[in-house]
A and B are shown apart, each in its own frame.
Chain A
Amino acid sequence: MARAVTNRRKTINTIAAWTIGLLIFFPILWIIVLSFKSEGDAIKTPLQVLGSAWTLESYFVVQERSDYFKHFFNSVTIAVGSTLLGILIAVPAAWSMAFVPSKRTRDILMWMLSTKMLPAVGVLYPIYLLFIRLGLLDTTFGLVIVLMLINLPIIVWMLYTYFREIPGEILEAARMDGANLRAELLYVLTPMAVPGIASTILLNVILAWNEAFWTLNLTAAKAAPLTAFIASYSSPEGLFYAKLSAASVMAIAPILIMGWFSQKQLVRGLTFGAVK
């Protein structure tokens, strides 16, 4: 039986939750406001800011002066590239672990997870050195490889937890009907695995998009994605609030929208299935 909830209590809950929610969201809301102001207006008091004229100027300036879209496309290349490459490598591995488990499957999974715990700074110089030697420094290709490797354990794990939920009986039934391995993969498993693969892609694009250790340390002007481009505002000259706001809004908007769609997968992916 559902507990009776008075309208009064619901109202109090609503007010409290919305107040806190808006408070937490406020910094993002505020840079959205500032991004539509002129530089001169953006540094005024909050009330004056709200009262001043709205303009798209900053968005144009950011693009003209710093070639925003080059960095945007670097981010897209790195995030999408590393994720797809990771999926390509992880799907077979996760599939075999979920459907043909052996005694060692559990150990392999745990070991993969342990590689994720390796602190990046501990291997910073070796990677840096390898990048110089292999000519990968400041290339998007190099970052695609590194981000694929750091996210591979999460990709394998997420896919594994999704694949394990596909009932094995279906496979047996398919085999009884004479399906071979190829048919089994193509017509039985793939359709059932697509939602899990899609969520995995979504979460990993988000993680790779926001990764800010390797992207900061392994890029310069050429391959810098948005994380590094935004960091160039840490010692700016002159007025820059509106420009920084516009650049930030453009950098976080796509991922914010994707993130809102991936709330559930976020929990599963980031806790390695420990909390569902």
Chain B
Amino acid sequence: MATQHSRSAARLMMAPAVILLLGWMLIPLTMTLYFSFKKYLPLRGGDLGWVGFDNYVRFVSSSSFWPAVATTLIIVGGVLFITLILGVLLALLLDQPMWGQGVVRILVIAPFFVMPTVSGLVWKNMFMDSNNGFLAHLWRAFGAEPVQWLSQASLPSLIMIISWQWLPFATLILLTAIQSLDSEQLEASEMDGANWLNRFGFIILPHLARAITVVVLIQTIFLLSIFAEIFVTTAGAFGTKTLTYLIYQRVLESQNVGLGSAGGVYAIILANIVAIFLMRIVGKNLDA
């Protein structure tokens, strides 16, 4: 039984973490909200007074807003689609008996540990460069004209780079979930004459539903704020400006802080919508 004494001690032990996170959340958030209602141009006159919801309206009605929303959705959707499908297939394969399973797992997981700036630049230069890149050499070997990946097919290229980074994450989590599947259930269904497709559709996939949801939600939250990969490859050119990148440009490059802050508030709202669903799943697990 916890005594009164240990309760107050517990509260004291929690205090530093709670206070720090509270400050980390409230101070910048309040500032962003404050700036979002101001015309604030640090390099061109500074604080030019309150403007109400002007920034919010201008951010949404600017010509780069809807393309940025579309780009964001295409990248997030594309990466989710690729990593989930390949992730499930790869997890199923890695779950099978084979020689050198541990080594294969290591090879598959590796890209996740590569820092974003490295993977962006390595793909951009050593693979997608149309003169000396690996893919250009490969294309030429087959007599084809090398592709200007990051300018002619900028979004598919970015989706490929980011999927390469996130496939290990999806695979690892799905593999963990598959391994917790009761093999007796599978054997029983096999004896009852269920074929491979039936077993996958009626036993494996439902069992994976939760893990898939978790992968979708966590990846969405991280993918919405993808930054470094775009920063080092296209710097937002060729239609690769996401919402995050647009806000970054407004705030730091053109130093229109009011406008960028309004964009930031939109980004926070968007992330929170996704977060609510994730939190529900995590919360349920906490009770169990």
Contact = CB atoms under 8 A, between A and B. Distances in A.
Question: Do A and B truly interact?
Answer: yes
Contacts of A213: 225, 227-228
Given A25-B107, A122-B268, A227-B117, A241 B211 contact: no
User: How many of chain B's residues touch chain A, expressed as a range?
Assistant: 35 or more
B109 A263 contact: yes
Nearest to B23: A149
Contacts of B228: 212-213, 216, 227, 231
Interface in B1-52: 2, 6-7, 9-11, 13-14, 16-18, 20-21, 24-25, 27-29, 31-32, 35
Residues of A contacting B: mostly: helix
Among A17, A92, A206, chain B packs the most CB atoms within 10 A around the CB of A17
Contacts of B137: 45-46
Contacts of A123: 28-29, 31-32, 264
Contacts of B168: 24
A37 B267 CA distance: 44
B90 A20 contact: yes
A156 B180 CA distance: 25
Nearest to B172: A267
B10 A96 contact: yes
Contacts of B268: 118-119, 122
Nearest to A2: B183
Contacts of B231: 216, 231, 234
Given A117-B271, A251-B115, A27 B164 contact: yes
B282 A230 contact: no
B173 interface: yes
B159 interface: no
Contacts, number: 310
A273 interface: yes
A266 B169 CA distance: 9
Interface in B66-113: 90, 93-94, 96-101, 103-113
A95 interface: yes
Given A21-B104, A212-B228, A233-B121, A112 B214 contact: no
23 contacts: A10-B96, A13-B93, A24-B168, A96-B11, A96-B13, A119-B224, A119-B270, A121-B225, A121-B227, A122-B265, A127-B28, A206-B113, A226-B115, A227-B117, A234-B235, A241-B126, A266-B172, A270-B169, A271-B173, A271-B214, A274-B210, A274-B281, A275-B176
Given A25-B107, A28-B110, A89-B17, 17 more contacts: A17-B96, A24-B168, A100-B7, A110-B279, A112-B21, A114-B272, A119-B268, A125-B261, A181-B9, A210-B113, A212-B228, A213-B225, A251-B118, A255-B115, A267-B173, A271-B218, A274-B210
